[in-house]
Amino acid sequence: MYTLQSVPTPCYVIDEAALVRNLQILQGVEKRTGAKILLAQKCFSNFALYPLIGKYISGTTASGLFEAKLGAEEMQKENHVFSPAFRAEEFEEICSICDHIVFNSFAQKDKWIKTAQKYGVSCGIRINPECSTQQGHAIYDPCAPGSRLGVTLENFREDDLDGVEGLHFHTLCEQNSDDLKTTLAAVEEKFGKYLYGMKWLNFGGGHHITRSDYDLRTLEECILHVRQKYGVEVYLEPGEAVALNAGYLATTVLEVVHNGIDIALLDTSAACHMPDVLEMPYRPPLCGAGEKGEKPYTYRLSSCTCLAGDVIGDYSFDAPLQEGDRLYFQDMAIYSMVKNNTFNGMPLPSIALLKEDGSCRILKRFSYADFKGRLG
Ligand SMILES: *Cc1c(COP(=O)(O)O)cnc(C)c1O
């Protein structure tokens, strides 16, 4: 039996107690408001935890057939799916395992709704309220000009809503409920009149509900307002909020090199194992470390890939780093295991589960076969 301090590195370590704390908050929202909360699997798909997650929230949502299958097999609760466009060879299987399907256009809705209805699936349309509430991260803004995501008011066909039982919007990313309130006002102004005849409204994801400064009260007021005014079910489909701060990436220092600065080479990689660090970009928190220059010994933490920019960030420490030292990046359960890759033939980190009693169980190890097998 391992502990966090002894798991072989690199290793993602899912923190079960932290996950449960998040789930209790989400369950509280469900209980107080009657809203249904779904896990957005694209953020976190470690299905070993699905039975636990399913004890607290209402189900899963998927971006296509594979995630939908995973939700159906491993959570077995409500199973929703959204995709900008569905494929003919997959659509009937999707209908057989999903209870809600969200279409991204009236053309998609017209193409598929008869098939979906044959399977008793509840169909909805994703709308684009054209209300940007986030600055800085244009690639995360579905309301940006030219967006392919959701039907704008201009393209909305009010005479083509036969069989449409719900609307869906997803415009937030790591945001608080003040931005939800702003967005909801835009949704109601543009599309509110269509909601009266419908069964549900899905608020999408991007709600940072489990962050310590999140204003739950405003969220709950938004939900109750919609339920009362329009008589519809409300769904939320957070990814991050489910597993926020609920995992580590454990890594080992392999070597230290110097070129004007001190650079520690780790057995992990931003490009391969935490791609959002480069893509978003952001600086992941690291246990026991400070900002650059804050503690006496500053290092640039980097990896063994060939990519010069494969840098996790600059961090400072109380003591010099040495070969064999172990480091623990925080908040590594989300958008990590679902996005990693084997560029440069880098080994994939193992996946472990840290239990409340401090013991760590390895859920999965990867090998050369996982690298080779994906390539031919
Ligand atoms: C990404 C996404 C989510 C989850 O977003 P988080 O930021 O992880 O909460 C939910 N719904 C849709 C449609 C998404 O694209």
Phi, then psi, of 239 in degrees rounded to 5 = -105, -65
Q: Are both 251 and 369 inside the same structural domain? A: yes
Q: Are both 323 and 271 inside the same structural domain? A: yes
Question: Quick one: what percent of the chain has pLDDT higher than 70?
Answer: 100
Tell me, yes or no, whether 354 lies in a domain.
yes
Tell me, yes or no, whether 226 lies in a domain.
yes
Tell me, yes or no, whether 228 lies in a domain.
yes
Domain of residue 157 covers 34-243
Q: Are both 100 and 232 inside the same structural domain? A: yes
Q: Whose CA is nearest to atom 10 of ligand 1?
A: 205
- Distance in angstroms (rounded) separating the CA atoms of residues 21 and 103: 33
Q: Are both 321 and 206 inside the same structural domain? A: no
**What do you get for the CA distance between the two ends of the chain, in Å?**
35
Peptide bond into 10 cis (omega under 30): yes
> Is the model's pLDDT at 139 over the cut of 90?
no
Look at residue 2 in the predicted model and tell me its pLDDT: 98
Look-up of token digits 């189900």: 59
Q: Are both 201 and 64 inside the same structural domain? A: yes
Ligand 1 centroid – CA 241 distance (Å): 10
Q: On the CB side of 281, how many CA atoms lie within 13 Å of its CA?
A: 10
Tell me, yes or no, whether 325 lies in a domain.
yes
Where is pLDDT greater, at 135 or 86?
A: 86
Nearest to residue 219, comparing CAs of 245, 182, 192?
Answer: 182
In this structure, of 137-151, 228-242, 259-273, 323-337, the range with the lowest mean pLDDT score is 137-151
Number of domains in the chain: 2
Ligand 1 centroid – CA 260 distance (Å): 41
User: How far is the CA of 82 from the CAs of 67, 85, 100, 283, 340, in angstroms?
Assistant: 11, 9, 9, 30, 22
Ligand 1 centroid – CA 105 distance (Å): 18
- Structural domain ending residue among the three candidates 243, 273, 297: 243
pLDDT, mean of residues 101-105: 98
Residues with CB under 6 A from ligand 1: 40, 42-43, 82, 170, 173, 204-206, 237-241
pLDDT, mean of residues 48-71: 98
- Structural domain ending residue among the three candidates 218, 243, 268: 243
Q: Using alpha carbons only, what angle is made at residue 24 by residues 21 and 28, rounded to the nearest 5 degrees?
A: 145
Helix (H, G, I), strand (E, B) or coil at 343: helix
- Distance in angstroms (rounded) separating the CA atoms of residues 10 and 267: 6
Helix H or strand E encompassing 236: strand 233-236
> Could you tell me how many residues make up the chain?
376
Ligand 1 centroid – CA 61 distance (Å): 9
pLDDT digits (tens, 9 = 90+) for 150-209: 999 999 999 999 999 999 999 999 999 999 999 999 999 999 999 999 999 999 999 999
Look at residue 297 in the predicted model and tell me its pLDDT: 98
Q: Are both 224 and 254 inside the same structural domain? A: no
Look over the chain and give the mean of its residue pLDDT values, rounded to a whole number: 97
Q: Whose CA is nearest to atom 8 of ligand 1?
A: 239
Q: For the residues of 3-61, what is the DSSP string, one character each?
A: -TTTSPSSEEEEEHHHHHHHHHHHHHHHHHH--EEEEETTT---GGGHHHHHHHS-EEE
Q: Are both 55 and 148 inside the same structural domain? A: yes
Q: Are both 142 and 272 inside the same structural domain? A: no
Looking only at the bridges linking them, the beta strands covering 261-266 and 297-302 are: parallel
* Amino acid letter for position 97: I
Q: Are both 139 and 181 inside the same structural domain? A: yes
Confidence of residue 137 (pLDDT cuts 50, 70, 90): confident
pLDDT digits (tens, 9 = 90+) for 7-31: 999 999 999 999 999 999 999 999 9
Query: Cβ–Cβ contacts within 10 Å for residue 258, how many?
Result: 7
Q: Are both 88 and 235 inside the same structural domain? A: yes
Which atom of ligand 1 is closest in space to residue 204's alpha carbon?
11
Ligand 1 centroid – CA 304 distance (Å): 32
Look at residue 59 in the predicted model and tell me its pLDDT: 98
- Structural domain ending residue among the three candidates 243, 275, 309: 243
195: CATH? 3.20.20.10
